[in-house]
Structures are given as C-alpha cells and as structure tokens.
Amino acid sequence: MKTVQIIVTGRVQGVGFRYFTVRCANDLGLCGWVRNLPDGSVETAIQGQGEKIEEMIKLLKQGPGAANVSGLEIKEIESGSEELSGFAMRF
C-alpha cells in the first residue's frame, strides 16, 4: 500500500476538478481525499496499489475538459501514516 500527496496547479478550481478526482479514484479503487486550497490549487491524498496510483497521476495530469493543469507536485507519504477508507471531498 502506497500513499501520495499531490498538489495540482493551473486552472483547476471552478472546473469540476474535485468531482473528476473523486470519480477517477473510485473507478480505480483508491482511497483518500481532495480539497481546494486558498492559492487556487487542488490538494489530494491518494492511497492504494502503486500501479493504480500511477494511473491516477496520469488522469490528474489531464484533468476534466475545462481544466488546464500546469503542474503536479507529488510527495510520497511514510507508510506508517493513517489508513484511509473511501474517497472524500474535503472543504
């Protein structure tokens, strides 16, 4: 089990990016959460199998149709961190 924190930058707020993230994560069987940040970026924590996380990263780079992703900052989280269940939108 792997956990990563990802900050997505670009035009990613007000374009359905969080809903897109939740849908993709659920389709891939990943756990975690996603939220908007005050600086206009989106933060997500994703937990699951490595290959599924890699698929998710590819999807996040594309984003939904109205988004314009300019970058992803990816950080792996220590394996001793909390175990997540389901995928939630945080506010």
**pTM of the entire predicted model:** 0.94
Q: Which of 11, 18, 23, 26 is catalytic?
A: 18
Q: Is 36 noted as a catalytic residue in this protein? A: yes
Q: Which of 11, 23, 35, 36 is catalytic?
A: 36
User: For the chain, which residues make up each domain, given as ranges?
Assistant: 2-79
**Beta partners for residue 8, in sequence order:** 42, 72
Secondary structure percentages of the chain, helix, strand, coil, to 5: 25, 40, 35
Q: Is 18 noted as a catalytic residue in this protein? A: yes
Q: Say how far apart CA 72 and CA 17 lie, in whole Å.
A: 13
For the chain, 91 residues long, give each residue's pLDDT as a single digit of tens.
899 999 999 999 999 999 999 999 999 999 999 999 999 999 999 999 999 999 999 999 999 999 999 999 999 998 666 788 999 999 9
pLDDT of residue 80: 67
pLDDT of residue 4: 97
CATH topology of domain 2-79: Alpha-Beta Plaits (3.30.70)
